Amino acid sequence: MNFLIVSLIKAGVVAFVLMTTLAYLQWIERKVIAHIQLRVGPYRVGPHGLLQPLADVIKLITKEGFIPSHVNLFFYMLAPFLAVTLSLISISVIPFGPEIEVAGVKTWLQLTDLNIGVLFVLGISSVGVYGVALAGWASNNKYSLLGGLRSSAQMISYELPLALTVAAPLLMLNTLSFREIVNGQAGYLGGWLARWTIFQLPFPQIFLGFPLFLICSFAETNRVPFDLPEAENELVAGFHTEYSSMKFASFFMAEYANMVTVTCVATLLFLGGWTPPFPAPYSNVIPIVLFAIGGLAALYAGINPARPKDRFTLPVAGLVFLGLAAAFAASHLVPALETVLMALFWFCGKVLALLFLFIWIRGTLPRFRYDQLMRFAWTFMFPMAMLNLLVTSIMVALFPKP
Amino acid sequence: MWSAIIFLVFAFVAVVAAINLVVQTHPISSALSLIGVMGSLAVLYLLLGAEFIAAAQLVVYAGAIMVLFVFVIMLLNAGAENAKPIGSRAKYFGLPLLIAFLGIMSFVVQAVIPGGNNVVFGEYHAGPRDVGKALFTDYLLPFEVVSVLILIAIIGAIVLARKEID
């Protein structure tokens, strides 16, 4: 009974946080891209456009859901449902932090731990292509069909190097469960360098494994420079051309959920999950210092505001940041709370940094041509992934763990 | 108790999807029914404790192979097939013969396999470690032979598909 209640609470919290993240990720993306292109981005709804996601959600819900004629109605409706369901399932095996104890109940900051967690995520992501492919086919539109075809070919091609690069850290850590994967990366080399798989001996994955994984994950989530399924200058909007209202929003949500999942997996497999980059007494100071600097900078900017509204919004943001810094500092008095806060800080920090990288690249790189994309997958990514796996397995065999 | 309920649900889904696969006239519907069958099979493997087989079923069959099927169907833009009228022999003898066949099959299965509770949910512990160990020690030769066979198949496909260069 206890287990059921705890699981329900955890599922509710994770679902709420994930949905909020998805909505605000879109705001972050628009803001970051806008600043890369020297614009301000969303600014009108709420301070600095902070209520824009809410307005977007209301708009998308109340819009008319238009269904074109001659579509295959069953598959047309099934496709967005499949896309969003399959993209949300994977989050259930992602651990966000260590085991905690609240009011005598011990629980992990994770919905469920499978001992084949990595395989589960791979399986779900390989089935995830059906949403896009079916949407393209069922829409009865040539552009949509081309988008769906492109996306299925692209996802099959990049699934192979993705699986091969994932196998390399698994060889080093000797497990498939995400919990064990993070435990295997705890500790420090020589007392200061984190034993994350990108640094871990015998073969650090930072040379080949991690970059390859990132490139494959761009392709798997259909993001720039691999967003050919929705290349707007060739295919109108690709596979979701004929979708509107909440059905369109489902595809949007699926894309962002996939991004969050893939960055979480990258964090867990390569960046050590919630373990800090250097030993605890020193790394615990970092969030306090970061939040304090952010808060003070916002306060200073609020004293000399560039725009009249900033006289109010920036000091408020500064106070929030200072409050966070104070909360982290205060948690030092309660060791149990400090562990949880630090774990969440490092996990969210790494995931957000990777998400920022995704957005940054979208604002920087042009799109591949289709033949370039395929040649890149088969003649560069696949051999390099094989090489990485080969070298890693030879090194693991030569230098077994004591 | 829960395992039995989950088993019944997914066994039912698998059978319904398999029947749907034959009944549907459109190739895409049939392909998706096949994915339903494979997904339910993966759950059944999981119930038996064969975690790795379940994941492989999902990744390889439901993922890679069926995506290729769907891809080809979409690429060729295959339409719904025209239903042929059923011949009189099939109409009158089909159902009784099918029932007789199923009856004989179930009788043989009952006779060959001794009764009792043979299969227990979660009895087999075939995790990735066990599968790997078995493949690379006891079954190394069959494993390598199968990989050579697949290599031959790939090369054969390339040779057959390559255009003649004059």
**Mean pLDDT score of chain B, rounded to an integer?**
83
Amino acid residing at A172: M
- A79, closest residue in chain B (CA to CA): B32
Q: Name the interface residues of A facing B (CB cutoff 8 Å).
A: 72, 75, 114-116, 119-120, 122-124, 126-127, 129-130, 133-134, 136-137, 145, 148-149, 152-153, 155-156, 159, 163, 176
As beta bridge partners, residue A100 has: A107
Contact A318, A296 (CB under 8 A): yes
Q: Where are the domains of chain B?
A: 1-80, 127-166
How far apart are alpha carbons B126 and B143 in whole angstroms?
17
Q: Where are the domains of chain A?
A: 1-62, 66-275+334-398
Give residue A153's pLDDT band: very low, low, confident or very high (50, 70, 90): confident
Give residue A119's pLDDT band: very low, low, confident or very high (50, 70, 90): confident
How far apart are alpha carbons A196 and B139 in whole angstroms?
35
Residue A53 burial (CB count, 10 A): 21
Q: At what angle do helices A129-138 and B66-76 cross, to 10 degrees?
A: 20
How far apart are alpha carbons A112 and A229 in whole angstroms?
33
Best A137, A166, A171, A374 member to test B by mutation, with max B CBs in 10 Å, is A137
How far apart are alpha carbons B53 and B42 in whole angstroms?
8
Topology at the third CATH level for domain B1-80: Four Helix Bundle (Hemerythrin (Met), subunit A) (1.20.120)
Residue whose entry in the numeric block shows the structure tokens 């392709």: A219
- A149, closest residue in chain B (CA to CA): B71
Burial of residue A145, with CB atoms counted within 10 A of its CB: 0-12 exposed, 13-18 middle, 19 or more buried: buried
Measure the N-to-C terminal CA separation of chain A; round to a whole number of Å.
42
Residue A262 burial (CB count, 10 A): 26
Residue A231 has what pLDDT? 66
Amino acid residing at B22: V
Residue A280's contacts (CB-CB under 8 Å, 6 or more residues apart) are: A342
Residue whose entry in the numeric block shows the structure tokens 């004293």: A303
How far apart are alpha carbons A86 and A125 in whole angstroms?
8
Whether B21 has its CB under 8 Å from any CB of chain A: the answer is: no
Residue B118 has what pLDDT? 63
How far apart are alpha carbons A331 and A289 in whole angstroms?
14
Which residues in chain B are contacts of A115 at CB distance < 8 A?
51, 127
Which residues in chain B are contacts of A163 at CB distance < 8 A?
59
Per-residue model confidence as pLDDT tens digits over A262-300: 999 999 888 888 888 877 777 778 888 888 888 888 888
A123 vs B32, B55, B67: nearest CB: B55
How far apart are alpha carbons A34 and A29 in whole angstroms?
8
Residue whose entry in the numeric block shows the structure tokens 């909505």: A23
Q: What percent of chain A has pLDDT over 90?
A: 3
Looking at the predicted complex, does its ipTM rise above 0.90? no
Query: Residues in chain A, how many?
Result: 402
Residue B137's contacts (CB-CB under 8 Å, 6 or more residues apart) are: none
